[in-house]
Amino acid sequence: MGLHDTVSLIMRFSGGGIGAVHAGWTGEGSRPVYALDVLAADVTLALALDPDFRLRGRAGGREVDVADTVDARRRSQTRFLEAAARGTPDAVACTPRDALGTLAVALACETAIATSQEVRVPRLS
Q: What is the pLDDT of residues 78-93, one digit of tens each?
A: 988 999 899 988 888 8
A 10 A CB-CB count for 112 gives 18
Q: By the 8 A CB rule, do 72 and 66 touch?
A: no
CA distance 48 to 55: 6
Longest dimension (CA), the chain: 49
CA distance 29 to 22: 21
pLDDT of residue 24: 83
pLDDT of residue 14: 86
Parse the chain into domains and list their residue ranges: 1-69, 70-117
- For residue 4, is pLDDT > 80? no
Give the residue with greater pLDDT, 50 vs 49. Answer: 49
Q: To the nearest whole percent, how much of the chain has pLDDT over 90?
A: 37
pLDDT-derived band at 122 (thresholds 50, 70, 90) equals: confident
- For residue 27, is pLDDT > 80? no
Alpha-carbon Rg for the chain in angstroms: 17
